[in-house]
Structure 1
Amino acid sequence: MDLVVRAPRAVVGGAEIACTVGVRDGRIVSVGPLGPATGTPAAAVRLDLTADEVLLPGLVDTHVHVNEPGRTEWEGFASATTAAAAGGVTTILDMPLNSIPPTTTLAALRTKQEAAAGQVRVDVGFWGGAVPGNGADLPELHAAGVFGFKCFLIDSGVEEFPHLEPDRFAAAMEVTADLGALMIVHAEDADLVDESLLSGRRYAGFLASRPSTSEDSAIARVIEQAARTGGRAHVVHLSSAGALPALRSARATGVDVSVETCPHYLALTAEQVPDGATALKCCPPIRDAANRDALWSGLAAGDIDMVVSDHSPCTADLKARGDGDFSLAWGGIASLQLGLPVTWTAARERGVPLARVVTWMATHPADRVGLTHKGRIEVGADADLVVFAPDREWDVDPARLHHKNPVSAYAGRHLTGAVRHTLLRGRDVTTDRPPEGRLLRRGHR
């Protein structure tokens, strides 16, 4: 063996057990009982977890905005993947915006891959973008190995990535259905968003301007087109629990639609957002406590498939633009390094076991995008492993995070659970060793 890990506690197959994990050539080759130390297989390196640590599979975050090239001052591959490793995330999928150029053509994909090469500490795959007029580009991007296509049903916030009106969305769904590709959708209905309700620093005005009905309506459109075309669809960053009955009903009839939510929707509530606190601005917005509780119920029932970050950073000046004016500040929450402890802190308060959190943050996202050798501790999987201290308490200091800009919705928040080591293919990537991450293609290991 190259590495043997002895873990009195490990999340394996959706449950917590004691085990010994053997690694050779970057893959898990054995998962066996935790016997006496004297009986441990010989290995070049042996890692013994302490009683306060749990071995987890590396998390798979399928919703990350890296922004390089073009807006690298917001975030870049070096900073994003360093933050990911520190947060127990061993695989990320990069969104097709807010980089310049956006990943809407094969040439743009190559530009982004060239920018990432040699910088990444964890494995990185790429989404393509579906925008008006690029239908002919989608087959080329699909053949080049993007993991699917992202589109907006409302203004994306950046002019180089325009949204799809209903007829264009229907046409794009026909293309992705023919390709067998996954279409991931920012689902808000512009006709139900009322920016006249914005009222400067008041969070209540921002929340009222983007009601839950705007999400519910747009998600109904996604379901309709997935059913009509037989295509595969995925709803990103669900904040409205009101859409869950429609999603549940559609899936019961065989519509191939999945849905994610994010740590900020599970941990934060509108009642907790002070006026002027634009660090907590995101679209769709953080809603009230009853809605948050309903999202947790949706996770428990299996109506929500996964929890991913929607890491959407920007520079500090853009987040503070307008001195706390919600109509002017950039919307997005940077949380790549914090997703696991934020979600675990909220989960344990509700009596949710760590193994369920791992399923939502590692196994399910990996499976939905075809990375079935990721997000699990089993023979044949990549040896992407995390040593996690679930009872370790700490306070968030944005200046100590690896995100490029020290802006956090969780500044000063008391969390439970800390990542001590992250291993990518059996090698510790939370050290100063040169980056060893790989650029991933759909369908290729």
Structure 2
Amino acid sequence: MRLHITGGRLVTPAGVLDADLLCVDGKIAAILDRGAEVEADERYDAGGKLVFPGFIDPHVHSRDPGASHKEDFDHSTRGALVGGVTTVLEMPNAIPPVDSAEVFQERRRQHEQHAWTDFGLWGLALGETNIDQIGPLFEAGAVAVKLFWGYALHKETRSLVYNVGDEKPENLLPPPPNGQVLQLFAEVAKHGGVLAAHCEDKDVLATSQEALGHPIESYEDLLAARPAVAEATTISIASQFAKATGCRFHVVHLASEMGLDAVRTAQRNGVSVSAETCPQYLTLTDADYPKVGPVMKVYPPVRGQGDQDALWEGFNDGAISSVGSDHAPHTVEEKARGFETQPAGAVGCETFGPVLLDALARGRTTAERLAAVASTDTAKFYGLYPRKGVIRPGSDADLVIVDPELRRTVRNDELIAKQPVSPWNGFELVGGPVATVLGGQVVVRDREIVAERRGRFVAADHSAHRADRQTA
């Protein structure tokens, strides 16, 4: 299969190039001078549009299996594909969770039957409970392991328990104490892998909730009950653990200026701490709550304009190296509840690309930086580069073709998600994908899927980091 993309502006590590592109048998074969004559089975006229490496969404909760009434892998990856995402990295906290190599292989087989994008898999870290599985998970190709630091889990299902008062103590698996967490850092470092965590200190949250003195009834209450210092506290502890062990530690869904300050401090001190933020933190603030409503409830919460501005600064100067949707659907009915009982999480993988491209159109970042954070640097960090994340000969021909002038209003009833409740419902976005190319084939045109399902599993390769550690 030979695909010739003409007239586009290629977003590459060397800058934005006015050039054509030849893809052969699923790989990028050559970057060509404009107008070069080549044989091709199919041509796509990109007509002055931007051609990005396919976006990678490293933070997706498809709820499949175990809670597939909320979402499943078919719906999440179809939505992602339409939004310009060509690879998703699936989080491990389905039921059963991916806490062993055995479950990892079973989950891979399950998702291979339904994947519309290429995909990788996370593993779940439980402290000493499954520390013997950390090595086997990385050997199986896990992109990283995640610790829900400070969260209790249901003993039988290993699902997250947001409100421990709703469960009997005998049904709970308490979060691992910090001594076990330190051992986990050392184990992950031994295998050259990545340890990531939800960073909100449980004691700070408990004290803040108690100080509020009443159930959460407003957005101001939510921010008071989950202050930014909870995020910064856990990041600071993690930084010390990373320094002590040499572990690569990653902050997921970074939400606050205070948290970013803690990340910057670690980075200035040469500690291997990196960070991901999310479109919701880059484009929404507490001032949007009257328009968005309760669906805006996510953990950590969306905060003020100062936090958003700081996160963009980190996005653009390299302190933040990745961005993920944190696609975490709940039912329409659940998201309509009041603050106290409503679960946290929102639909996001389909709007991941369009929301970031709207920010590009509004001047918040450059095309080159967006490609780095949403594709190249994410691929490097998770052991997928150079196969993924870059437009260069030899890499997978995964691309998203973007019309920077396109205008589209997000509407819940047009989303692919099983539970279509978007924080951006009613927002008009400028700039958006008009085609997605996966493995050298045009699979989406103008939001319509035009090819058969072809998603494949992609194993992470962290061997360079293992070698570095052995050398050290």
- Do both proteins adopt the same fold according to a TM-score greater than 0.5, normalized to the shorter chain? yes
Question: What is the deviation of 1:346?
Answer: 2.5
Query: Are 2:66 and 2:96, in contact at CA under 8 Å, matched by a contact in 1?
Result: yes
Is the contact between residue 10 and residue 17 of structure 1 (CA under 8 Å) also seen in structure 2?
yes
Assess if the C-alpha contact under 8 Å between 2:84 and 2:400 holds in 1.
yes
User: How far does residue 351 in structure 1 lie from its aligned partner after superposition?
Assistant: 4.9
SS in 1 for 2:354: helix
Q: Deviations over 1:194-223 (max 9, x none)?
A: 223364431110111000000000000111
1:349 positional shift:
2.1
Determine the structure 2 residue equivalent to 1:130: 125
Which deviates further from its counterpart, 360-369 or 428-437?
428-437
TM-score by length of 2: 0.88
CA distance in structure 2 between the aligned counterparts of 1:351 and 1:188, rounded to whole angstroms: 27
Q: Could you tell which deviates more after superposition, 15-24 or 338-347?
A: 338-347
Give the structure 2 partner of residue 304 of structure 1.
320
2-structure distance, mates of 1:391, 1:232: 39
Give the secondary structure class of the aligned counterpart of 1:28.
strand
Aligned residue among 36, 39, 48 for 2:45: 48
Asked if 1:119 corresponds to 2:119, the answer is no
Shift of 1:376: 1.1
Question: Which of 200, 225, 246 pairs up with 1:188?
Answer: 200
Match of 2:339 among 322, 326, 331: 326
Q: Which runs of 5+ in 2 are unaligned?
A: 160-172, 463-472
**Aligned amino acid, residue 236 of structure 1:** V
The aligned residue for residue 359 of structure 1 is: 372
Residues in 2 aligned to 1:354 and 1:145: alpha-carbon distance in whole angstroms: 30
CA contact (8 A) 1:216 1:242 kept: yes
* Equivalent of residue 407 in structure 2, options 386, 389, 393: 393
Residue number among 80, 90, 99 corresponding to 1:84 in the alignment? 80
Question: Secondary structure of the residue that 2:8 maps to in structure 1?
Answer: strand
How far the C-alpha of 1:237 sits from its partner, in A, is 0.4
User: Per the alignment, in what secondary structure is the counterpart of residue 274 of structure 1?
Assistant: helix
Give the alignment partner of residue 215 of structure 1, picking from 214, 231, 236.
231
Deviation at 1:415, TM superposition (A): 0.8
Alignment match, 1:93? 89
Q: For 1:422-441, what aligned pairs fall within 5 Å after superposition?
A: 422-430=436-444, 431-441=449-459
Residue 432 (structure 1) shift = 4.5
SS in 1 for 2:223: helix
Identity score, percent = 33
Q: Which amino acid aligns with 1:300?
A: N
Contact 1:96 1:126 in 2 (8 A): yes
1:33 and 2:33 are equivalent in the alignment = yes
| Counterpart-to-counterpart distance in 2, 1:361 and 1:215 | 23
Asked if structure 2 preserves the Cα contact closer than 8 Å seen for 1:187 and 1:219, the reply is: yes
Structure 2 Cα separation of the partners of residues 21 and 29 of structure 1 = 8
2:188 counterpart of 1:176? yes
Q: Give how far 1:249 is off.
A: 2.9
Q: Kindly state the Cα deviation for residue 157 of structure 1 after the two structures are TM-superposed.
A: 7.3
Q: Distance in 2 between matches of 1:76 and 1:181?
A: 27
| 2:271 pairs with one of 255, 260, 284 | 255
Residues 392-411 of structure 1 aligned to structure 2 (within 5 Å): 392-411=406-425
Which has the higher mean CA deviation after the structures are superposed, 424-433 or 413-422? 424-433
Number of paired residues?
436
Matched, 1:151 2:169: no
CA shift, 1:164, in A, is 3.1
Partner of 1:229: 245
CA contact (8 A) 2:347 2:420 kept: no
SS in 2 for 1:297: helix
| Equivalent-residue separation in structure 1 for 2:152 and 2:434 (angstroms) | 36
The residue aligned with 2:260 is 244
Distance 1:200 1:18, change over 3 A: same
**Amino acid aligned to 2:59:** H
Q: CA RMSD in A?
A: 1.8
SS of 1:66's equivalent in the other structure is coil
> By how many angstroms is 1:14 displaced?
5.3
Report if the CA contact (8 A) 1:95-1:128 is conserved: yes
Secondary structure of the structure 1 residue equivalent to 2:348: coil
TM-score normalised by length of structure 1: 0.94
Query: Are the equivalent residues in 2 in contact too, given 1:7–1:54 (CA < 8 A)?
Result: no
Residues 297-306 or 230-239, more deviating: 297-306
| Farther-moved stretch of structure 1 (111-120 vs 346-355) | 346-355
* Aligned counterparts of 2:461 and 2:250: Cα–Cα separation in 1: 18
Work out the CA distance in 2 between the residues paired with 1:138 and 1:401.
Answer: 36
Secondary structure of the equivalent of 1:62?
Answer: strand
Instruction: Please tell me whether residue 371 in structure 1 is matched to residue 384 in structure 2.
Output: yes
